Amino acid sequence: MVTAQVKKIIKAALEEDIGAKDITTSLSLPSSIKGEGVIVAKEKGLLCGIKVAEEVFKTLSKEIVFRPLKKDGDHLDKNEKVAGVKGNIGTILTAERVALNFLSRLSGISTATAKFVNRVKPANTKILDTRKTTPTLRALEKYAVGVGGGRNHRLNLEKGIIVKDNHLRAGNFLADGELNEVKFQKLIKHLRSESSLKIEIEVENLTEFKSVVKYKPDIVMLDNFSLNTLRKAVALRNKYFPKVLIEASGGINLANIKAIADCGVDFISVGSITHSAQIVDFSLEIL
């Protein structure tokens, strides 16, 4: 998963952290000193980013020997060793913080995602991420969601058609809470004629859902629906439009996601797994 894009991200992160040079290390240690260290998980979590961490060290020096002791998706216990690093000590110390930052951030996302995925079992509901990601880090953060058992929503605006409430209002498809069904039907036909991508429509209440679902978009997103209205929407879909998929979104957390999944929705999108995931702490110890 260390693509050309990821390598650019790593290079930019190193440039940001180092500046012109690591002045402390260069003034404190002989340039030729060699040694080794170990990366340790300081708390429990689900590992993600081990190859990214390796690439950080390798970017500064191909001579660094990085030995993974765990792989992405492995469950970690507190104080468990994740990887060994051997080579020039100055290089190891200079790369340390960037490598650990990537491990911490990505493992935090995979750990958070896994909690949501496990919480909805045994329902068949799939957990989706959103575009609420750290600018420039989306590829890595969505990878971490996958490691945690979640699924990626569209990577960017090019990769999927989601007609949201603002689109409906801006285009006068929706006014005063009522859908202009003549205009909306033309919109659906236009989208299908211009693209082979799946079409998803966001609605904010049961009335909008009833108006939209009869035009059989691929997915209808139910934004901030109560449990009662979720059940009504799912029942209506099941009876009359079984091929239309339903996604729940808005205000999703670990306390309510099980009840939402039990309503029978196909997907639940959770922004917090990327924008608010708590990091998993790691340290590098020189031996």
Contact 53, 38 (CB under 8 A): no
Q: 156 — phi, psi (to 5°)?
A: -155, 180
Question: Burial of 152 by CB count in 10 Å (0-12 exposed, 13-18 middle, 19+ buried)?
Answer: middle
Alpha-carbon distance 177 to 222, whole Å? 15
**DSSP class of 225:** -
Catalytic positions are 97, 132, 164, 202, 223
- Bridge partners of 279, per DSSP, are none
**The Cα angle at residue 166 between residues 206 and 131, in degrees rounded to 5:** 95
Nearest to 93 by CA among 34, 15, 16, 6: 34
Pairing between β-strand 34-41 and β-strand 282-286 as defined by DSSP bridges: antiparallel
Q: Which two tokens stand for residue 9?
A: 């991200």
